[in-house]
Structure 1
Amino acid sequence: MTQNHVSGMETSAVSVLKRAVELDQSGRFQESLVCYQEGIQLLMDVLKSVKEDLKRGHYRERIKGYMDRAEQIKAHVNQLKEDGKYHEQIKIADDATGYSYETLFKPYISSALSEVWIQDPYIRHTHQLYNFLRFCEMLLKGLCQVKTIHLLTSQDDVDGQQTSALAEIKESLRTQGELYILNIFRFDNGWIIKIGRGLDFFKRPKGRFSIGYCDYDLRQCHETTVDIFHTKHTKTL
């Protein structure tokens, strides 16, 4: 492994761990835990390539510090779940970026996840249907075993677009869906995520060839609030 490659990994680790600390300090524990784990793995990869004892000791000390904090966060989150008190809130500012579905939901997707309930009254216009499709794609890319996705939305289908689009998505996913009205995302691994604007919190891009058109982490957002609960904290939907 070249020195440049090692230096690049260390730079990536510093960036990820800096983000972990920021999330940790703002009380976004589940997200910070993901960043701590990614950063620790990067530092461990760097450690494998270091030969000098002094440097190896330095990296081991840093890794231990971050691992200790990650374990503290795990214990804290598990205790909040057990006590039925887990509640985290993310406030997305107007024009903010960095909130793709993958970024927002990744901390709550685990290998135990097999079933998802999406309750959003506005999955009917073209861009909203594409939002739902992107959400489904995000689940398929995640480290989970989702077998069923339930969509609960309102029916508004003058031109038949909603029906045909959802039928196509359903056929593509080979899952099942239902139609109701609410605004909650529930995972069968215990997480409930409520977004004030549902899936449709992204602003329309300025053009088809503008930054953010393809990469939703670069797409500007409408102001909204995201509340994260655990099922032991919320008795009913």
Structure 2
Amino acid sequence: MPAEGKHRRNSRTSPLARRLVALGTGGAALALPLITATTAGATPAPQHITAAPAAVHAASHRVIHVVVKGESLSKIARDRSVSGGWKALYKTNRPAIGDNPSLIHPGLKLKLSGKPVSAPKAPKAPSGTSSATGNTPAATTDAIETVAKSYTNDLDGWIREALDVMAQHGIPGSYDGIHRNIIRESSGNPRAINNWDSNAAAGTPSKGLLQVIDPTFQAYHVSGTSTDPYDPVANITAACNYAADRYGSIDNVNGPY
């Protein structure tokens, strides 16, 4: 609170005019002083100005998920209904995750929606100034590419995509182990089906690249992949999941399994 100002009064030139207003109530009067003028040089009463509220930015529609122990991108994408699945989640958060989508650690904050972080562009050099002189700020050196990993639509691409999915779920297996068993089981034909063995006779023919019967596919299906047993990646990951449970790894399978 500001201290009261001390002002010298001159009764002849600047009197404090006061008036008494009498409110009559049965002969009694209530005197109310009315200040009609201020003394010369008196400090004006401070004015309280309410600042106009600042413009409020629209709330971001992005939702943040904090990774907990045991989670994978595919699990998060499924549990939080991320459009585009784990691939879209990885694309959006690749700068934070890095090049290996299977390596996410507890405490990592992931955006469930929104545009991927883009690499900043170098500022345009002012007229007459060459960026080579060092006068123009260089582009940020820690910019990270945000393009999602892609796979070819062939046996090589299917195996590589399956290996990345397996890495997220901790399913063991190598490229060579998967490739060797695929060539033996289906010769690389994702639509292969066995209609003559005991499984077929029982009504559950072996299907796909690694010749998986429906009950096994359903029991060992890997979340985040297709539910179609003929889908190459779904077939490979389910078969490798089964082999890991039964034999330790698809790498240990060297014959019918």
Structure having the higher Rg:
2
In proportion to residue count, which structure has more helix? 1
TM-score by length of 2: 0.21
Instruction: Identify which of structures 1 and 2 has the higher relative contact order when contacts are C-alpha pairs closer than 8 Å and 6+ apart.
Output: 1
